[in-house]
Amino acid sequence: MTNSNTPLFKSASRIAMISISVALAAAPLAACGRKAAVTETEAQRARAVRVVKVEARAITGALSATGVLQPREEAAVLPEVTGYRVAKVLVDEGQYVRAGQTLVQLDGALISAQVDQQRALAAQAAVQAEQAEAQASRVSGLDGQGVLSQEALEQRRFQARAARATANAQAAALKDAQTRAGKLNVSAPVSGLVLERNVRPGDLSAGGSAWYRIAQGGEIELRAELSEEDIARVRPGQRVTVVLPTGSSAQGTVRLVSPQVNSQTKLGVVRVRLPVRSDIRAGGFGRALFEDAAGQSLAVPETAIRYDADGASVMVVGSDNRVKRVVVKTGARGGGLVALTQGPAPGAVVIQNAAAFLLDGDLVRPVFGDAGKPASVK
């Protein structure tokens, strides 16, 4: 048996006491560790999710409309003289022409003979007028002298005036014939693109349908019809992207917004100026996307809308940071936003990413961020 007073016994006693002290000191630390672990687990249950508020926003690019491609200004070409045969057709459709350029030449044989005949008649009338005026001048001053009766004197003077009037009429007829002769070349009234040709060599010039249709300057624009509500969001000078049937697009601007709407259809007309391009053809269709049409309405990012068998919905975060599904009805879209025509009240907080797997009652930790920029945790 070991003596308690021996050095070995004393050393063992000290070691045992130290071990008990260390164990007693470590017990509270272990308890604190267990509490920290429990607190961390509860915090992890609240997922950090990006959220935005339901508020009035400008829906950009949401407005679109289809329309017909038409010439901005269209000029019709018809012959100014009738009854003459077409000798040559010099321009075909699809060509660009300048103002005053000859498009069609008429056969001038008939009008040339008419001009010659009228020139002879005018010359004959001029001679007769000179003769009558000379006879009238010879009896000047003989009034009341008894050489000739007063009736004879007046008759010579009247004949002179009548002859001069006839000469003037024949001269006017000659000028008319010469003017018609100058119209044998049918020319373009404006510069532009020939859209249509309806004349052939051998045709007889006559009134009726136009021989040519010309788009002035070659400018083709889109004529779109919008509802009374939508047309209020359009203004002259506004940028527009027009998508063509080929899939290509053209950048244009609003040239004209109709000051009235049709009383029957309640539609108004908007004309969009387009660049001069060979693939923009009159008579075709185009779809106009009004890039900066702005209308203030309650909106959320498109990513916030969830679609399922029950329709569209958003996940609203309550004051207790718990999630609740709310059914919505959507309206205009554009610029990554979608308008809500029915849904949460303004100021409600919704989950920005509807793809996040969340259920009613889930606890979340909302993090606010701009819908158009990466969210930053505050």
pLDDT of residue 35: 47
Residues 276-285 have a mean pLDDT of: 92
pTM: predicted TM-score of the whole model, two decimal places: 0.60
pLDDT of residue 159: 86
Q: Which residue in 250, 256, 292 sits closest to 275, CA to CA?
A: 250
Between the ranges 157-166, 249-258, 294-303, where is the mean pLDDT highest? 249-258
HSE of 11 in the Cβ direction (CA atoms, 13 Å)? Answer: 4
Tokens linked to 366 = 């909302």
pLDDT of residue 44: 63
Residues 254-276 have a mean pLDDT of: 94
Residues 303-327 have a mean pLDDT of: 90
Tokens linked to 318 = 């309550």
- Given 3-state DSSP classes, what are the helix, strand and coil percentages for the chain, each rounded to the nearest 5? 30, 35, 35
Distance CA 45, CA 347 (A): 26
Distance CA 151, CA 90 (A): 63
Residues 5-24 have a mean pLDDT of: 50
**124-133: b (≥16 Cβ within 10 Å) or e:** ebbebbeebb
What is the chain's mean pLDDT, rounded?
83
Residues 32-54 have a mean pLDDT of: 67
Q: Which residue in 184, 164, 196 sits closest to 75, CA to CA?
A: 196
pLDDT category at 122 given cuts 50, 70, 90 is: very high
pLDDT of residue 362: 86
Distance CA 66, CA 263 (A): 20
pLDDT of residue 180: 86
DSSP collapsed to 3 states, 317-350:
ECCCCEEEEEECEEEEEECCEEEEEECCCCCCEE
pLDDT of residue 143: 57
Q: Is the pLDDT of residue 22 over 50?
A: no
Do residues 57 and 201 make contact, with C-beta atoms less than 8 angstroms apart? no
Q: Is the pLDDT of residue 146 over 70?
A: no
Query: Tens digit of pLDDT for each residue in 158-200?
Result: 888 888 899 999 999 999 989 888 889 999 999 999 999 999 9
Higher pLDDT, 98 or 42: 98
Distance CA 230, CA 293 (A): 9
Task: Indicate the SS3 state at residue 277.
Answer: coil
